[in-house]
Amino acid sequence: MRELLEAVATGEVSPAEAQAELAGYATGEAGRFDAARETRAGVPEAILADGKTPAEVADLAATAVETTGRAIVTRLDADALATVRERLASHDAEDTYHERARVLVAHTDGFERPHLDATVGVVTAGTSDAEPAGEAAVLAREMGAQVERVDDVGVASIVRLLDQLPALRDLDVLIVAAGREGALPTVVAGLVDTPVIGLPVSTGYGHAGDGEAALDGMLQSCTALTVVNVDAGFTAGAQAALIARAVDAARDG
């Protein structure tokens, strides 16, 4: 404790870093950032931009890089991007914005992302599924998994999927994103001996075209798969990466 206080006094450790170490979270103007989440639960804390002002998102992102060396911001619109980047630049953090996924990831110079000897496949039925699938891919990669994308293999022309089966069967865990009736995860899970996570997407026409039909279809699947909520790319990526971590530990052992 004394060493930490002395480090704060000399400027080697910021008050936010000290609070994060002592309490597990850091408090800024925009709220509390769970700096210990990755250590506690294996999943890094992320900042959901929806419902927050650009200034609030920027404040939380700055707290994230200050306390953990990394910021992950999801559902970030281009309008708020400049504000967040300007704030992160003052913390010497380099960022990458994944435009289609609407996710920004920033790292400080000394940050080292984990590396897992395991690969997550992110599969989409069509191009319209790219946003939540991209969010899942970014999160899985940030948790250390290798990520392989297999896109546009929906059941409307199932030959596209069959062409990719050898590659899919070589992967350790699959996230399969689909809108409309959500059939693709069921089909994939019936053809591979790999854990499959169904990611329903809010695309489609008319009745239940907001992802409801896709979610219901996946929940009623006659094959063995798990399902996350509609458009919940972050959750799908986190679950897949936790499985990848177990695979990595088994291979290392």
CB-CB contact of 31 with 60 (8 Å) = yes
> Does residue 20 or residue 247 have the better pLDDT?
247
pLDDT for 106-157, tens place per residue?
Answer: 999 989 999 999 999 999 999 999 999 999 999 999 999 999 999 999 999 9
CA-wise closest residue to 118 among 252, 232, 238, 236: 252
> From 3.40.50.1970, 3.40.50.1820, 1.10.1740.10, 3.30.70.20, which CATH number describes the 119-252 domain?
3.40.50.1970
User: Could you tell me the residue ranges of all domains in the chain?
Assistant: 2-108, 119-252
With cut-offs at 50, 70 and 90, classify the pLDDT of residue 25.
low
pLDDT for 43-95, tens place per residue?
Answer: 999 999 999 999 999 999 999 999 999 999 999 998 899 999 999 998 889 99
**What confidence score (pLDDT) does residue 65 get?**
93
Q: What is the DSSP string of 66-106?
A: HHHSEEEEES--HHHHHHHHHHHHTTTEEEEEETTTTEEEE
| Structure tokens given for 67 | 């306390």
Compute the distance between CA of residue 136 and CA of residue 72 in angstroms, rounded to an integer.
Answer: 12
pTM as predicted? 0.89
> Does residue 25 or residue 183 have the better pLDDT?
183
| Structure tokens given for 71 | 């910021």
CB-CB contact of 68 with 38 (8 Å) = yes
